[in-house]
Chain A
Amino acid sequence: MEQDNKKEALKIVTETKYFTKEDALFKDAGGFLTWDGNRVFLHRCFPFEEPWRYISVLDKDKKEIGIITDIAVFDDDTQEILKNELNRKYYMQTIISVDKLKDRYGFTYWDVTTEYGHANFTLSDTHRNIVKIAEDRLMVVDMDGNRYLIPSVVGLDKGSYKRIELYL
């Protein structure tokens, strides 16, 4: 009896539900996500390496319902819904070019072009807030906590690269 209890307890800890295409019950309920009628939240297990794979689905009490191994298992509509939700949560603008970068008294002031146009922001502790998330990919975190993606350092134009080079 005791032994059974222990096994049961172990099962709860180690058994994970992996979502299959039959579980495609995700809906966008006007700016947030539901699954099977209840509000759920998504959290990436490996946000830097696997943005569309290994996504934990949590209920409103932050308890894990299961893991989506790859959103590609679902139909296109569901994929779209999931992508929207993930983009909302992990909002990150992509830096297309770094137009100006000024270093002053321990802070760097950035003028950049993103997919939404011109933007400027400030970094404190510049070295630490430019995070190398993959060999060629950078995440820049400004003072407020906003995140900006540089998808490819090599792909940057020469001027942009020169401006950020010192901080890499």
Chain B
Amino acid sequence: MENTTFYRQQLVNKLISWSCPVKQEDIVSLFDYDMSKDMIPTDGIVLLTDKKVILMADGNMQHEIELSGIDKFVFRHDVGSVAVECDIKEGETIVLCRATMSHSKLLGHMTKKFNVYLEKKEFSEDENTSPDDRCPICGTPYKKRHGKICTNCVSKKKLFARLWEIMRPHKWMLLAGSLFFVFSLLISLINPYINKILVDNYVNNPEIKSLIEDDKTKVFIGFLLALLLTLGSSILGYLINLARNLIMMKVGAGTILDLRKMVFNKIQMLSMSGLSKKTTGELTQRVISDTQEVQNFINSQIPNVLGLILQLIGVSVMLIIYDWRLLIVFLLPLPLTIIPMRIFHRFSRKIYSRQWQASSKCNTILHDIFSGIRVVKAFGTEEKETVRYDAAARRVRDLSIRNETRYALLVPFIRFGLMIGNFMVLYYTGVKILDGFMTVGEASMLSSYVAMVYGPINWLTNIPNALNRVFTSVIRIFDIIDEKPDMIDKDKTVDKDIIGEIEFKNATFSYDGVTDVLKNVNIKIRPGEMVGLVGKSGVGKSTLINLVMRLYDVNDGSIYIDGTDIRDISQHSLRSQIGVVLQETILFSGSVYDNLLYAKADASREEIINAAKTAGAHEFIMRLPDGYNTIIGEKGHTLSGGERQRVAIARALLRNPRILILDEATASLDTEIEKQIQDSLQLLIKDRTTIAIAHRLSTLRNADRIIVLDEKSVAEVGSHEELMKQKGIYYGLVMAQRQMSKMSRQ
């Protein structure tokens, strides 16, 4: 609501600045548009008062139409633009305004609301009445896939907070890991120091001869001790590193498990309308790659960055202790190294992205050809495909040769850049040694320190990219996790034993909120009745049964089952009493038996066999080598279409549902098997409410009543005989099919 008034206020303010004569309180509703009917960019507003529609453009009143003369408003969705038109009562049309696609949702919605106003003189504002798909801060459209997070102005801090939210359960492990980090850092700092002692006191000690002559064992023991210390610290460093890596790996794996569980559960909880906005690939990607990205970040980026920062601090401290000037010598060339590294990274990202694209295109071609190999062979186009693949493969080769050459040419320069710091320090310490202010051991220690920092700078320059990637994933993950399921069960839902009466009362539904798929549907189906649903394709038959299963909620009106609003019945209780056989049978990989058990986990073997027999599936199942235990492969691909269908029917039967839904259940079967299944279905539908959709009208000959859908609503209802007498739509359909079968028989 807030949004609505804000939007309205904005427009009203604009009208005031235009000194529009219409009084504020007379405005029923208004919306803005951005193009004139001649496609000229325009800043315009359409006003609705109780008498007129007024068109404002760039501050001027353009047009006004009396509402009494308007038949209806029409929203037209073109390819690159949209338009709102008025149908005038005399049969004429007036184009009111046009707009870019950015306004399409708003204009579509408003057209609908205006029409309701024309009809009933009532106007309901709701949160959809404003273009709320834009970020109020920067005006960028929200990413539809990302819900209401504006990626343009979301703060990194917030994202880090969310990332932390993911890691928090593992905080003690993380702390332990960090401690080990510090340890391993300390050890890595100690080693060069011991080295220094070795060099200065023993290897490069001008007085070593006299010392040996003094006390040989003492020198030897000291030397041995230093050596052992080096060895010991190496081993300790190794062990600590191992522990650290193990811990971080555990944290990473733990987080990924938590995350995947969270995302997966959430996806399953979302309603169909929430889900169908996203493709299967997208959802899979969120569960697999996005979580993987976060794990990688925790496993490798965080430790590396953390380590590098700690090392920088540690080394800096050591350098300051030794000679603060060294720190400057050491830090000065850092930008000199980082800048070319950044450029190099950007460059390599570019060339490798191109290579990646080329090779992914190559893979697509392969996949295409192999999955369509029958078509390729049938059309005899093997040669053409070879050429196509060859071209793509060649491009990959050319690109990779070019990239590798460039890479090989550039890497030495980058390496050189990494050495600059080292060179500077070498120079500085060299001069100092020559002047006699520093020993060789000290110099070697210092240069080890410097190398320790300059080496991993590679990582540092890659951090912006890594952050971009992980934040992309974090946003996507939380987009799913934050999404509010739009069909949450109410607080007071009931588990209900369904008898089977279904009633639609003025049910109106639209998938996108703009175009109604079903409008004012009124149907009452008695318990145990079999109803056939007939109509042209796209008329809303499948939508209607989706509503019965409550995969979606109606936008207007309601659906009752045994007199209870469907929204008051818990989703679980409702769906457990509905059996569905769809046209497109979906079986899971596994055995026939597993697939049947899916409907009823505690079914006895007798029940399973009975169900399979009723569905006419037993016979072919017994011809399979392993009977019911035969593995049917991914999506049941080892079975034929008809066989899969029969397994699906058996599966629906096992549930012993009160309401049975058959959506073109027998469409992919040949006539003989269809008849067989029809007969068995006859047994099945006894005493259950059945809704069957069929294109082959003969399938519905057993239906008690037939409901004909047309123009988004119920057009005809009655038994086959009644409808035939009516000579309406049903009659036309039946006659057309008879004609067809007659023709095909000739």
Contact = CB atoms under 8 A, between A and B. Distances in A.
Please indicate which of the listed interface residues A31, A32, A147 has the most CB atoms of chain B within 10 Å of its own CB. Answer: A31
B78 A91 contact: yes
Interface string B698-712: 000000000000000
Contact of B350 (A145, A146, A166): A166
Contacts of A103: 468
Interface string A138-168: 0000111111000000000000000001100
A105 to B, nearest CB: 4
B98 interface: yes
A88 B78 contact: yes
B468 A104 contact: yes
Contacts of B95: 30-32
Interface stretch (B36-44, B436-444, B626-634): B36-44
Contacts of A88: 39, 78, 81, 83, 98
B79 A90 contact: yes
B80 A122 contact: no
Interface stretch (B99-107, B204-212, B330-338, B724-732): B99-107
B85 A107 contact: no
Contacts, number: 92
Contacts of B154: 105
B37 A146 contact: no
A84 B79 CA distance: 14
A2 interface: yes
Interface residues of B, number: 39
A92 interface: yes
Interface stretch (B141-149, B232-240, B484-492, B519-527): B141-149
A122 B134 CA distance: 11
Contact of B151 (A32, A105, A145): A105
Interface string A86-106: 011111100000000001111
B309 to A, nearest CB: 24
Contacts of A32: 85, 93, 95
B193 interface: no
B280 to A, nearest CB: 15
B476 interface: yes
A142 B79 CA distance: 13
Nearest to A88: B39
A39 interface: yes
A145 B101 contact: yes
Interface string A5-24: 01000000000000000000
Contact of A89 (B79, B94, B140, B743): B79
A106 B475 contact: yes
A23 B642 CA distance: 52
A146 B100 contact: yes
Interface in B66-88: 78-81, 83, 85
B41 A116 contact: yes
Nearest to A167: B353
B141 A105 contact: no
Contact of A147 (B35, B80, B152, B743): B80
Contact of B141 (A87, A143, A165): A143
A88 B145 CA distance: 29
A124 interface: yes
Interface in A25-49: 29-32, 39, 47
Please indicate which of the listed interface residues B35, B98, B101, B471 has the most CB atoms of chain A within 10 Å of its own CB. Answer: B101
Contact of B80 (A39, A91, A127): A91
A74 interface: no
Given A122-B141, A145-B104, A146-B100, A105 B38 contact: no
A124 B102 CA distance: 14
A52 interface: no
B217 interface: no
B37 A104 contact: no
Given A88-B81, A91-B100, A165 B350 contact: yes
A114 to B, nearest CB: 10
B19 interface: no
B241 interface: no
Closest 9 CB pairs of A and B: A31-B95, A31-B37, A91-B81, A91-B80, A145-B101, A144-B102, A106-B472, A105-B472, A89-B78
14 contacts: A31-B37, A32-B93, A88-B39, A89-B81, A90-B79, A91-B35, A106-B476, A107-B151, A109-B140, A124-B143, A146-B80, A146-B101, A146-B102, A165-B350
